[in-house]
Amino acid sequence: MKVLVTNDDGIAAPGIRALARAAVDAGLEVVVAAPIEEASGMSAAMTAVRQDGRIVVTAHPLDGLDGVESYGVAGSPGFIALIATLGAFGPPPELVLSGINRGANTGLALLHSGTVGAAFTAAANGCRALAVSLDMPMADVFRAGRPADEHRHWATAGTVAAELLPALKSAPERTVFNLNVPDLPRDRLRGVRRARLASFGQVRMAVAEVGVGYVRTTLEETDVRLEPGTDAALLVEGYATVTAVRAVSEVDVELP
């Protein structure tokens, strides 16, 4: 089975190596294509850098993944997922795995995630997709240099993702699994739980300052009470959480 592995943290991020390794170990035919630079918060944006009318694509071999084709692309995660389904990196993938994201993507805020946006785009173009995120304190997500990244439990998230692949393969077409995993060894997870989406994410945007000709915003940790049974609550309790979602669907309402 042909699989695209992408992310929004960039081709050099440690999480994408762990996810690609998990996919290879699961016996899948893997190609990696991810943004050359970090593209967090891009949702499903269609942006790319062109030179002479061509999208910039650079070979970018990944450590420990000999024989796996890997590319850095000057484009957003959603754009990369789209061109992959159109055959930009060989035969179109049957599955798209996106992540492993630095920081959880929980609740309705997953709409804004580039990690989830790539999965949504893949699903809208006929693929099943899995978005994978590793929980960590927000202070670490935004810390300059991110010195502890290599020591986090990326392999745990990769292992749980691989365990979900059979369920994803048998899910209805265009299904996206949104997976969040605590930053713990696999044997310390309390389990993997199906979860509802929380009505909020881990962070929220706030207006910090309004002046003449400008607005300054900031990101703050959400201080809303956790809702039992939601992804945000179960993640805090030490469970990996998975929610099956679709990006765009119709609502049956009575119209005039």
CA–CA distance, 203 with 110 (Å, rounded to integer)? 11
Say what the pTM is.
Answer: 0.91
Question: Among candidates 139, 156, 144, which has minimal Cα distance to 203?
Answer: 139
The 8-class DSSP code of residue 171 comes to S
pLDDT tens for the 256 residues of the chain, in order = 899 999 999 999 999 999 999 999 999 999 999 999 999 988 999 988 888 889 999 999 999 999 999 999 999 999 999 999 999 999 999 999 999 999 999 999 899 999 999 999 999 999 999 999 999 886 666 565 566 687 899 999 999 999 999 999 999 999 999 999 999 999 999 999 999 999 876 666 778 889 899 899 777 666 667 889 999 999 999 999 999 998 888 888 998 8
How far CA 229 is from CA of 89, 134, 234, in Å, comes to 39, 19, 6
CA–CA distance, 11 with 108 (Å, rounded to integer)? 26
Query: Which domains, and CATH codes, for the chain?
Result: 2-198+225-245 (3.40.1210.10)
CA–CA distance, 175 with 247 (Å, rounded to integer)? 9
DSSP 196-243: BPPSS-SEEEEEEEEETTEEEEEEEE--SPPPTTBHHHHHHTT-EEEE
